Structure 1
Amino acid sequence: MNLLYWINRVKMHPLLSFLFCITFLFPKGASAYKSVIHHFDLRIEINSATDIDIYEEAYITYYSFARLEDDLVVTHIDKFNELKFFQAEIINSAGEVIKTIRERDLVENSLSWEGNIVDDKILSLPLSSSAMPVSIRYEMKIRQSASLFLPAFRPVKFTDQLVEKASFTVQAPLDFALSFKTQKLNEPHIERTEGTISYQYHMDSFPTVAEEPYMPALLSLTPWAEVSALQFEIEKTRGSFASWAEFGNWSAAMLYGTDDIGYDSKAALDRITDTVSDTLQRIQQVFRWVQNRTRYISIQQGLGGWKPMPASEVDEYGYGDCKALVNYTRSALQHLGIKAHYCLVNYGKGRDPVDPDFPNQAFNHVILSVPMKTDTIWLECTNQQIPLNYLGYGVENRKALIVEKNQSQLVTTPSTSSGYHKVSRKIQMEVQSDGSALITSESYHSGLDFYWAWESVEPDTRKRAITENVDFTSFELDTFHIANCEEKAFTNRIYTAGYVPRFAQKVAGYLSVKPRFFKYDFPELPHADNRIHQLHFRKGYRILDTITINLPEGYIASDLPTSTSTESDFGSYSSDFTIDEGQLKCVLQAVLKPGMYDANRYAEIRLFLNTVKSLPEQRVFLQKQS
C-alpha cells in the first residue's frame, strides 16, 4: 500500500504519528546518517534506438541541510533529454506533506557561461531552507531521443548515506542488444515477454559508507550498474559499441569534411617550417602557431558535443572547444605531411576509469597524439601556455581511444607529471643580531607542481600565491620572478627575495632559529582509533630543501639538532645539520609515495607525516660570543 496512505492515516492520532516518525522517518541510528534512501527505483524502457523512456522514483530523508543542498538537482535536459513528468512531496518530521512540487515549479539554470556554450540545462528543487529532518518523495519521467548514452544506476551518491532498498530495471525489444557492467550487485532477474526482455536488479539495505580523509573513491566502495546499447543512434547517425574499434569508426566519421584550413594559413605554416627539417621541431612550430592564434571556448550543442566544428571555421574565428582545436592542429600537421591522431580521453581527477572490456561513451575530452619513430608526442590543445608533450594530471596515465578508421585502439597516456608534487628549493638566510632576516630562495617546481598556468596569471595573484606559501605572516616580499626553466623539462623556476622582521626569537640571551621558510604541503591526518577505509594518496610528494643560514657576526651555534633518516614502503625523510665557518647548513628531504595503504597502517602513516611536518620545526640556538 502507498506510503502516503499511512501518512494521512497516522497523522490523525498523536501516538501513531509519533510511532510513524520513529519507524519510517528516523531509522535506527539515523543520527549517524546525513541522509537515508528508503527506496530508489530507476527504470529504462527502450522502445527503439531513438525512443527511450526513463522513470525514476525515490523516497529520501535528509538529516543535514548541507546534504539536501548537495542533492537539489533533479535532472538535466538538453536536445536529447526532455522532462515529461515530475512531482515531489516535501514531508516534515511529523509525516505531514508541507509542499508539493511539480515540473513548472522547478528552477531551471543553463550550464552555459562565458567561454562555455552548451544546450544543457539543469532542473533543481526550489528549496532555500528547511527544518531538519525533512523527507522528499518524488517521481519523474524523461524522454530520451538518442541511445549513445544511457543512465547509470548509482543509488549511493554520498558518504554517510544509508540505502534501505533500490532497484534497476532495463526493458528493451528482444533484438535490441545490450551490455552491462555491475559492481556489488547480484545477477539480474531476466524476464522475456512477447517482443521484449527486461533485466531487473534489486538491492536491499546497503550500509552507510563513512566519510574519512584520503579514502578510496566512493564509486569503488558502492554498488552500481552501467548499461550500454551495442548499436546506438544519435542525430540520424548510427554507431556500435560492439568493440572500441567500432566506436572509433563512428568517432572517425565525425571528422569527415572538417580538416580543411584556409589558403593563408597553409602559406603561413609553410613559411614558419620552411627552414626546419627536424620533425619534432616542426611539430613544436605548429603547436606554438596554433596556441598564438586560438583560444578555448567550449561548444557542446546537439551533435556538436561529439562532432568538431570545421578547421576552416577555427581558422576564421580563432576559437574552438577541445574537439575543434585538436582537429585544427591535426589539420595543420596534416598539411605538412605529419600524421596525427584525434584521441578521446576522460578528463579530470577522480573520473571513472575507462574499462577496456566495456565499450561505451566514457569520454569528455579530446587530445592529440603524434606518432614518431621511437616515441609518441602528446598535445593538449586547449591551453595557450602548456608546453609540447605535457598533459598534466587531468589526462595523464589513463586510457585514451586513438581514433582512426578501422584501426582505433585504446592506449595509456604517459605520466608526464609522474604523479608527484616535486619541489627543490635553495634558501639563503642572512640573520641579523636583532632577529630579523633577509631571505632569498630559488625554487624548482615540477611534476604536479609545474605551474605553467602562472605565466598567464596577473602579477598580484602570483604575489599572493607566493606569500601564502611562506610560513611567516610578517614576510615582506621585495621581488619575485617566475619562468619556465629551459634546461629542465616541465619545470618552473621561482625566485623570491624578501625580509622577515621577526625571524629569530630572543630567548635568555640566545637567538632561537628554525630552518624553515616555506610551508610543508604534506597531507594531514587527524587522530582516529578505528580507521575503516584504506588510505588512498592519489598524488605523491617529493620535497628537497637546502637551507643556508648565515649567522650574525659574533654568534655561534651552541647545539645542533640530531640528523635523522627513515625509509618505508610509503615514503622517507631525512634531515642533516652541519656548521661551517659561520654558516649553518640544513638539508631536509621528504617523500610520500602515491598509492593505496591498508587501514591498519593509519597510525604508522600519521606518525610519519607528523614527523615530516616537524623536521623544519627543530630549533637551533645561536649564542653571542663574549
Structure 2
Amino acid sequence: MSLLGQHSISSRFALAAALCLGPLLAQAGQPLQWPVSSIPAALRQNAHAVIRQQDDILTVKAAGRMVYTVHRVVTVLDEQGDNWGVAVVPYDKLTQVSYLRGTVYDADGRVVRTLRTADIKDYSNVSGASLFEDNRVRVGDLRQPRYPYTADFTYEYSSDNTLNFPAWSPQDEEHVSLEHATLRVTTPPELPLRYLEERLPQGGAVTKSQQGNQLVYAWQLTSLPALEREPYSPPLAEQVPTVYTAPTAFEVQGHRGDMTSWQGLGKWEYDLNQDRAELSPEIKAKVAALVKDISEPRQRVRKVYEYLQNSTRYVSVQLGIGGWQAFPASTVASTGYGDCKALSNYCMALLRAAGVESFCAMIGAGEQRAAIRTSFPSNQFNHMILCVPMPKDTVWLECTSQSEAFGYLGSFTGGRHALLLTPQGGKLVRTPSYAAAVNGQFRNAEVVIDDKGHGRATVRTLSSGLQQDALAQMISALPADEQRKRAYARLGLPTVTIEQSSWQPNRQGALPAVTERLTLALPSYASLTGRRLFLVPNLLNRLPPPAPSVGARQTPLVLHLPFTDADTVRFKVPADYKPESVPAPVQLRTAFGSYEAQVQVLQDGTIQYIRRLQMPDGHFEAAQYEAYEAFRQRISKADRMQLVLVRPES
C-alpha cells in the first residue's frame, strides 16, 4: 500500500547487519556526563531504557518550509533496550538531513566514543512492494556490548513538505521511562500552530509566548515511569502523553492547501488528482462492451471491479509529490500497475466510463489502528480506497488486491473513518463494520475412536467475514507446504497428523468465506486407564484463559474481533464402551458474550458435542476486567471438560 508520502519522524529499527562498535576508550580529564547512578530508582523499575533528556524543536519557516531538531539522551539498561542505541533519521526528495551527531558514555558517565562521519551509514528505505521510492535513512549506531550505557544523539532535518507535522510522544514504547522531555514550536503569526493535547499530566499543558515576531509554543514532561501494556488494553499510542501538531496552511512542491478543516484537506487532495482520470477511447469502448448487457448499477460495479483485478497489480511508486498524486489513469491502463492512489483513481475512471459515479477516499489502514482524531483535521491516513454510492447502500472497493471479494474491506480498512474526496472538498464518513453474526466459524467433525484411544477425524470448517481474513491471505500468499504448517499451528493439538487438507475460498457471496477440509490422525486422543476411556469432547476449539491481571486494572478492556463460533463434533466409540460420566450442560450470559456447551448420547451410541460462543467487540471499563477474566476462565474450564466411558469387566 502507499504511505501517501508519510514518514515516521521518530522511527527506530534494528539493522540486519550490526555496524562496527568502536573500542571502549575512557576520555581522561573530561567531566562525567549522565552517570547511571543519578537515575531515580522509580524510573529504573520495569525499564529496559530510560530517556534522560529529549528536546524536540520544530521551526516553521514558511507555509512550505520547516526545520526539526532533536536532542535525545537515553540510558540503555539491557539488551532489550538496544534499539535506543541507534538513531535513524529518514529523508527523501523533499527532506534533507542537516547533521547527525552522537556520543556514547559508560555507566559512570565517561565518554566511550563519538560518532564519526564514517560511522554514519545511509540506507534505502524502500518497501518491498515499491518499484521506485526516494525514501532513505541516515543511521548512527552507538550500541555497546556492556550494559548499562548512555547514547546521546543530536540530529536535524529540514523539509519542503509541511503536510505532516510531527507528533510529540517521547515515551512511545513499553518498558521505557522518561526523566525529562520538551517540545518547542516556533512559527510566524500568520501560520499559527494547531495542536491537540492528549493524556498530559498536570503541569504539562502548553505555554505560549512571543519571541520577536514569532509565536512560541512549549511543552514539557518529567518523571514518567515505564509502562507495560495490560492484556486486551488499547494501543500504547492511546495510553501515553502525546501532543499532535498540524499546520493551518501547508504546501508540497508548490501545491498549497488549508488544513483547518476536513473539507480543506480533502479539497487539496482532490484538486491534486482531478485531471488524472482520463481514459483512451479504446479503454472506454472496452468498458462499454463489458457492461452493455448489465442494467443494474451494483452488477456494473462488480463487473468493472473484476476487470480491474484481472488486469492490474499493486506496485508503489513514491517520488516527491507522488506520495499524494496518483498516476494518470491512462498510465495505469497501459502499464497494468499502480499504487493505492493510482489504482483507486483508475477504477474511478473505469466506473465513470460505465456510467457509475464514485469517489476516492483516504483512510488509515491496518488492524487495530488507532481511531482517527475526528476533531483535529490533519493527515492521519496511509492508504486510499474507493467509495461507490448506491441507491440502497454504498459499495467500498479495495483496489490494490487481485483476490479480495467485491465490496469487502475486512479488518484492514473496515469499521473506521475515511475522508471522502469530492469536488466540494473532504467529508468524513464511516466504512462498514462487521458484526459477530457475520464473522463466523462453523465446524462439523466426525471422529472415530478405537479401543486403544486412538482417533481419526474428518473436519469441515466454514469461516466467513473477519474470521476468514487470515485464511484467505494464507491461500493467496503461501505455497501448499506453508499452508499445512499454518494448519498444524492452528490445531493446537500436541500429537496430530494432517493426512489430507484443502482450502476453498468463495468470494461470490455477500461476504467472503473459506471452507477448510482436514483429515486428521489423532494418536491417543482418548486416555485409556484400565476399563475407562477419558475423552475431551471439544476437539479443536478450546479457548485459553486470559492473562491474569496483576494488581488493580488501569486501562480499559478492548475487544477487537466480534465473532460467532459453532462446533458440532460426533464421536463413534467402541460398542462395548458406555458413558459413565457425562458433563452437565453449560450456559453463560454476560456483557462480554454468550457460551453454550452440551454433550449428548444419541440412540445409536454416538457421542455428540455441541458448542456455541459469540463475543462482541467494544470498550469496557477497567473495573470490568475481573468479570471478563472470570467469564473466560469458566469457558476455558468448560472447553476442557471430560467424558468418561467404561467397558464391562471381562
Please state which band the TM-score falls in when normalised by the shorter chain: over 0.9
Alignment of 1:182-331 (within 5 A): 182-185=197-200, 186-331=204-349
SS state of the match for residue 366, structure 1?
Answer: strand
Q: Which moved more, 1:520-529 or 1:342-351?
A: 520-529
Aligned to 1:160: 175
Q: Deviations over 1:19-74 (max 9, x none)?
A: 98364256545243222212211111111123322111122112122222266242
Conserved in 1, the CA contact under 8 Å of 2:192 and 2:215? no
Aligned to 2:152: 137
How far apart are 1:416 and its partner, in Å? 3.6
Q: Which moved more, 1:417-426 or 1:52-61?
A: 417-426
Aligned to 2:54: 40
Match of 1:470 among 491, 498, 503: 491
Aligned to 1:76: 90
Aligned to 1:24: 38
Match of 1:353 among 371, 384, 398: 371
Q: Deviations over 1:532-587 (max 9, x none)?
A: 43332222443221111122233222221111112111223221111012111111
How far apart are 1:173 and its partner, in Å? 1.3
SS state of the match for residue 453, structure 1?
Answer: helix
Distance 1:307 1:90 in 2: 42
Conserved in 2, the CA contact under 8 Å of 1:49 and 1:146? no
How far apart are 1:232 and its partner, in Å? 0.7
How far apart are 1:129 and its partner, in Å? 4.3
Distance 1:108 1:563 in 2: 64
Q: Does 1:515 align with 2:537?
A: yes
Distance 2:245 2:227 in 1: 24
Conserved in 2, the CA contact under 8 Å of 1:564 and 1:576? yes
Code of the aligned partner of 1:489 = L
Match of 1:496 among 509, 518, 533: 518
Aligned to 1:461: 482
Judged with a 3 Å threshold, the aligned counterparts in structure 2 of structure 1 residues 618 and 387 are, in CA distance, closer, same or farther, namely same
Code of the aligned partner of 2:433 = S
Conserved in 2, the CA contact under 8 Å of 1:162 and 1:208? yes
Match of 1:439 among 454, 457, 465: 457
Conserved in 2, the CA contact under 8 Å of 1:419 and 1:594? no
TM-score (structure 1 length as normaliser): 0.92
Q: Does 1:371 align with 2:389?
A: yes
Q: Which moved more, 1:567-576 or 1:68-77?
A: 68-77
Q: Does 1:62 align with 2:79?
A: no
Distance 1:233 1:488 in 2: 43
Match of 2:134 among 112, 116, 119: 119
Match of 1:105 among 119, 128, 133: 119
Conserved in 2, the CA contact under 8 Å of 1:540 and 1:594? yes
Judged with a 3 Å threshold, the aligned counterparts in structure 2 of structure 1 residues 20 and 276 are, in CA distance, closer, same or farther, namely closer
Conserved in 2, the CA contact under 8 Å of 1:25 and 1:93? no
Match of 1:555 among 574, 577, 595: 577
Match of 1:405 among 420, 423, 438: 423
Conserved in 2, the CA contact under 8 Å of 1:92 and 1:135? yes
Conserved in 1, the CA contact under 8 Å of 2:102 and 2:154? yes
How far apart are 1:201 and its partner, in Å? 1.5
Runs of 4+ in structure 1 off by over 6 angstroms are 8-13
Judged with a 3 Å threshold, the aligned counterparts in structure 2 of structure 1 residues 529 and 50 are, in CA distance, closer, same or farther, namely closer
SS state of the match for residue 612, structure 1?
Answer: helix
How far apart are 1:612 and its partner, in Å? 1.9
Judged with a 3 Å threshold, the aligned counterparts in structure 2 of structure 1 residues 71 and 330 are, in CA distance, closer, same or farther, namely farther
Code of the aligned partner of 1:386 = E
SS state of the match for residue 393, structure 1?
Answer: helix
Distance 2:475 2:355 in 1: 32
Q: Which moved more, 1:289-298 or 1:71-80?
A: 71-80
TM-score (structure 2 length as normaliser): 0.89
Code of the aligned partner of 2:173 = F
Code of the aligned partner of 2:479 = E
How far apart are 1:297 and its partner, in Å? 1.2
Distance 1:376 1:38 in 2: 51
Percent of paired sites with the same residue: 23
Q: Which has the higher contact order (CA 8 A, sep 6+)?
A: 2
Distance 1:302 1:366 in 2: 18
Conserved in 2, the CA contact under 8 Å of 1:435 and 1:502? yes
Alignment of 1:585-604 (within 5 A): 585-604=608-627
Aligned to 1:148: 163
How far apart are 1:419 and its partner, in Å? 10
Distance 1:67 1:221 in 2: 20
Conserved in 1, the CA contact under 8 Å of 2:419 and 2:426? yes
SS state of the match for residue 81, structure 2?
Answer: helix
Q: Deviations over 1:170-203 (max 9, x none)?
A: 1111212331111234442222243211111222
SS state of the match for residue 254, structure 1?
Answer: helix
Distance 2:183 2:272 in 1: 33
Conserved in 1, the CA contact under 8 Å of 2:26 and 2:112? no
Conserved in 2, the CA contact under 8 Å of 1:505 and 1:513? yes
SS state of the match for residue 413, structure 2?
Answer: coil
Aligned to 1:574: 596
Conserved in 2, the CA contact under 8 Å of 1:422 and 1:543? yes
How far apart are 1:433 and its partner, in Å? 2.3
How far apart are 1:471 and its partner, in Å? 3.6
Q: Which moved more, 1:607-616 or 1:93-102?
A: 607-616
Gaps of 5+ in 2: 1-24
How far apart are 1:97 and its partner, in Å? 0.9
Code of the aligned partner of 2:611 = L
Conserved in 1, the CA contact under 8 Å of 2:436 and 2:615? no
Aligned to 2:4: none
Judged with a 3 Å threshold, the aligned counterparts in structure 2 of structure 1 residues 489 and 52 are, in CA distance, closer, same or farther, namely closer
Gaps of 5+ in 1: 1-7
Conserved in 2, the CA contact under 8 Å of 1:148 and 1:229? yes
How far apart are 1:267 and its partner, in Å? 2.8
Aligned to 2:635: 612
Code of the aligned partner of 2:521 = Y
Code of the aligned partner of 2:97 = L
Q: Deviations over 1:402-438 (max 9, x none)?
A: 1011143100111146598631211111222232222
Judged with a 3 Å threshold, the aligned counterparts in structure 2 of structure 1 residues 11 and 32 are, in CA distance, closer, same or farther, namely farther
Q: Does 1:175 align with 2:193?
A: no
Q: Deviations over 1:263-319 (max 9, x none)?
A: 443333222222111111111111111111111112222111000111111111111
Distance 2:134 2:344 in 1: 22
Q: Which moved more, 1:464-473 or 1:43-52?
A: 464-473
Q: Deviations over 1:317-349 (max 9, x none)?
A: 111111111111111001111001100001113
Q: How many residue pairs align between the two structures?
A: 616
Conserved in 2, the CA contact under 8 Å of 1:89 and 1:99? yes
Judged with a 3 Å threshold, the aligned counterparts in structure 2 of structure 1 residues 67 and 420 are, in CA distance, closer, same or farther, namely farther
Judged with a 3 Å threshold, the aligned counterparts in structure 2 of structure 1 residues 460 and 488 are, in CA distance, closer, same or farther, namely farther
How far apart are 1:389 and its partner, in Å? 1.1
Q: Which moved more, 1:506-515 or 1:382-391?
A: 506-515
Distance 2:437 2:420 in 1: 23
Q: Which moved more, 1:303-312 or 1:600-609?
A: 600-609
Conserved in 2, the CA contact under 8 Å of 1:168 and 1:201? yes
